[in-house]
Chains A and B, each alone.
Chain A
Amino acid sequence: DTAVSQTPKYLVTQMGNDKSIKCEQNLGHDTMYWYKQDSKKFLKIMFSYNNKELIINETVPNRFSPKSPDKAHLNLHINSLELGDSAVYFCASSQRTSGSSTDTQYFGPGTRLTVL
Chain B
Amino acid sequence: DQQVKQNSPSLSVQEGRISILNCDYTNSMFDYFLWYKKYPAEGPTFLISISSIKDKNEDGRFTVFLNKSAKHLSLHIVPSQPGDSAVYFCAASPEHGSGNTGKLIFGQGTTLQVKP
Q: Which residues of A contact B (CB under 8 A)?
A: 4, 31, 33, 35, 40-45, 48, 50, 55-56, 90, 92, 94, 96, 98-110
Contacts and interface: CB of A to CB of B under 8 A. Distances in A.
Contacts, number: 70
Contact of A110 (B36, B41, B96, B103): B41
A102 B95 contact: yes
A90 B43 contact: yes
B28 interface: no
Contacts of A56: 101-103
B96 A4 contact: no
Contacts of B41: 109-110
Interface in B96-112: 96-97, 100-106, 108-109
A42 B2 CA distance: 9
Given A50-B101, A55-B101, A92-B43, 19 more contacts: A43-B44, A43-B89, A43-B106, A45-B103, A48-B101, A50-B102, A90-B43, A94-B102, A96-B96, A96-B102, A99-B96, A101-B95, A101-B96, A102-B93, A102-B100, A107-B43, A107-B44, A108-B43, A110-B42
Interface of B: 2, 32, 34, 36, 41-46, 49, 51, 87, 89, 93, 95-97, 100-106, 108-109
Contacts of B2: 42
A77 to B, nearest CB: 20
Contact of B34 (A55, A90, A104): A104
A33 to B, nearest CB: 7
B85 to A, nearest CB: 16
A44 to B, nearest CB: 7
A113 to B, nearest CB: 14
A56 to B, nearest CB: 5
Nearest to B100: A102
A93 B34 CA distance: 15
